[in-house]
Amino acid sequence: MDCASRLTGFAAEFETAFEAALHEKMENAPPRLGEAVRHAALAGGKRIRPFLVHECASLFTSAGQDTRSAAFAIECVHCYSLVHDDLPAMDDDAMRRGKPTVHIAFDEATAILAGDCLLTLAFEYLSSCRDTGPLSAILARASGGAGMVGGQLLDLAAEGRFGGGEAGDTATVIRRIQSMKTGALITAACEMGAITAGASDGQRRALGEYGSHIGLAFQIADDLLDAEGDAAKLGKAVGKDAHAGKATFVGMLGVEGARKRLGETVESARGVLGGLPGNTAMLSDLAGYIATRDR
């Protein structure tokens, strides 16, 4: 089965399991909050992060409950970050994946709280795992001030939101923002999959390295998609990031330069798979898939 089919099949199964898992956790929450959380979390999406958790774990063992919990956790964090990033005070997006964003479908207060709820749920899912400590440490570092949340702040700073200065506009800064905002969580997904499957520290580190390469590939591909894509595929206004003055690889390297960098990054990702056990073919395909998705 090719990577795209496998991911599609995984996403469909994940959707069902995630819906049931959220239903259970939100039973005692106010109905409006449960609806907003479902709107944010069950909006489709490619489910690449939980897929990575699952595929990395599958190198070592068949997926068990801890792998599923880690997959729910990382997707909760990803979904919360979209809800908060879309808020009027942040990127002010009204549409996401062809649907109204949470603050449009509900209201701003509910959107802030639904995001908070999803972030909290992530760590609740991890709390039932055998290795809660290492899993929580990895997820928290990847999504906190030195990771995703810090990257979002630097991204806003690069737009000149806070009077400029903090982020600058060099290639190093763009790479740093990408690495914090997108790469950290993708790296964490790979490492968390390894941990839930009982991988060694060395194996976990190798998968983390793979994750950091495909995280970079993911962001370059996203920038190219934004620069070249069509609105129907992305479900958001095309060229919005570029118009908003956001730091992008296309802005830094041009379209051709970004494509070249993307190819090199995919090869780097594949390069670290050699030392790992199990069938790494799917992870190799996934690196290529990420570079060509939706084109």
> What is the contact surface with its own copies in residues (CB under 8 A)?
25-34, 37, 80, 84, 87, 89-90, 107-110, 112-113, 115-117, 119-121, 123-124, 126-129, 132-134, 136-137, 139-141, 143-146, 149-150, 152-154, 156-157, 161-162, 166
Amino acid occupying residue 132: T
Closest to 253 in 3D by CA, of 230, 216, 290, 220: 220
- 125, two tokens: 């899912």
- Name the residue with tokens 């905002």: 181
Residue 129 CB coordination number (10 Å): 22
What's the closest the beta carbon of residue 48 comes to its own copies, in angstroms? 21
- Name the residue with tokens 């995919």: 266
Q: Which is nearer to its own copies, 126 or 287 (CB)?
A: 126
- CA distances to 83, 132, 167, 186, 250 from 205, in Å: 30, 18, 29, 13, 30
Q: What are φ and ψ of residue 95, in 5° steps?
A: -130, 145
Q: Which is nearer to its own copies, 138 or 227 (CB)?
A: 138
Closest to 222 in 3D by CA, of 193, 192, 188, 181: 181
Q: Which is nearer to its own copies, 115 or 183 (CB)?
A: 115
- 4, two tokens: 């795209």
198: which DSSP letter? T
Q: Which is nearer to its own copies, 13 or 124 (CB)?
A: 124
What's the closest the beta carbon of residue 124 comes to its own copies, in angstroms? 4
What's the closest the beta carbon of residue 101 comes to its own copies, in angstroms? 14
Q: Which is nearer to its own copies, 2 or 107 (CB)?
A: 107
What's the closest the beta carbon of residue 70 comes to its own copies, in angstroms? 13
Cα–Cα distance measured from residue 108 to residue 275, given in angstroms and rounded to the nearest whole number: 48
What's the closest the beta carbon of residue 40 comes to its own copies, in angstroms? 12
Q: Which is nearer to its own copies, 124 or 264 (CB)?
A: 124
What's the closest the beta carbon of residue 257 comes to its own copies, in angstroms? 27
